[in-house]
Amino acid sequence: MKQIIITLILTISVLNGYSQLSGSYTIGGTNPDYASITLAVSDLTTNGVSGPVTFLIRDGIYNQQVSIGTIAGASSANPVLFTSESGDSTAVTWTFTPGSSANYTCRLYGCDYVTLDGLTIRAIGASYARPIDIENGSTYTTIRNCVIEAPLTTNTNQNQSAIYEGSGTNSYTLIENNIISNGSYGVYFDGGTGLEIRNNFFEDQYYMGISVDNCPEVKITGNEILATNSHSSYQAIHAEYCDNQIEIVANKIDLQTGYYGLYLYYCEANLSNSGLIANNFISVGGSSGTGIG
């Protein structure tokens, strides 16, 4: 009798040998989980998440340009938080000097449910200096309790906006309780639904404090805007083609050299989707003829 021997060869493919992130991780300082923000974000976007993730950034200066892309598994149940471990927003400084081809210190690029909390985020540059850039369909972004610093400038373009929203449909962005300093614009958004800008302090933007175009139902509430030396066409709040249930409520605007407090252009509504502009306090200084509340 002849024996027949059959040999089976199994091929095993390992698609990803690393675990998804879940829980808290430290960045910087002594014996951290990650030595830099760059390394932490690389793991985050490569491996994704399987639960809520918190990155605790230790006190120090981080001279890094970081783009946060798509994060597999991120959701309302599994959000991603970057925050100061000490709770002091002035003790963690994330800074960079951008260029024309990559104009940002921190870019949110097609990511969802990411929060930046309690950090100083700064950009330095004579022509290109956006601390935060939101692009490529990012959703549910939150920027809170931060110090956002662009350089002092006399430019009127968007290249030195402190918080800039660019291409893609970027929706449900919340900007709250921040100090937003300098730059050509404090916040510049062109498109996107669900935008809320509330309880921030804006100081010394050269051209516009808040500029929102094509943002239906935008809510701008409880902000303080101070302009001391601005462009001759400065606008503290500019809203253009922002239709339906927009809210511009309880903002305090102090224009020490005049110009425009609140500027609305083609913001339309109807009886069932009416907007609300109420309880704003606007002080306009400067010489005669240059101040429009």
The pLDDT tens digits of the residues spanning 219-271 come to: 999 999 999 888 888 999 999 999 999 999 999 999 987 789 999 999 998 88
pLDDT category of residue 3 using cuts at 50, 70 and 90: low
Burial of 170 (0-12, 13-18, 19+ CB in 10 A): buried
Amino acid at 211: S
Burial of 7 (0-12, 13-18, 19+ CB in 10 A): exposed
pLDDT category of residue 288 using cuts at 50, 70 and 90: low
Please state, in angstroms and as integers, the Cα–Cα distance from residue 35 to each residue in 43, 52, 64, following that order: 12, 21, 12
pTM of the model: 0.92
Q: Report the pLDDT value the prediction gives residue 238, as an integer from 0 to 100.
A: 97
Q: Report the pLDDT value the prediction gives residue 14, as an integer from 0 to 100.
A: 42
What's the pLDDT tens digit per position in 185-220? 999 999 989 999 999 999 999 999 999 999 999 999
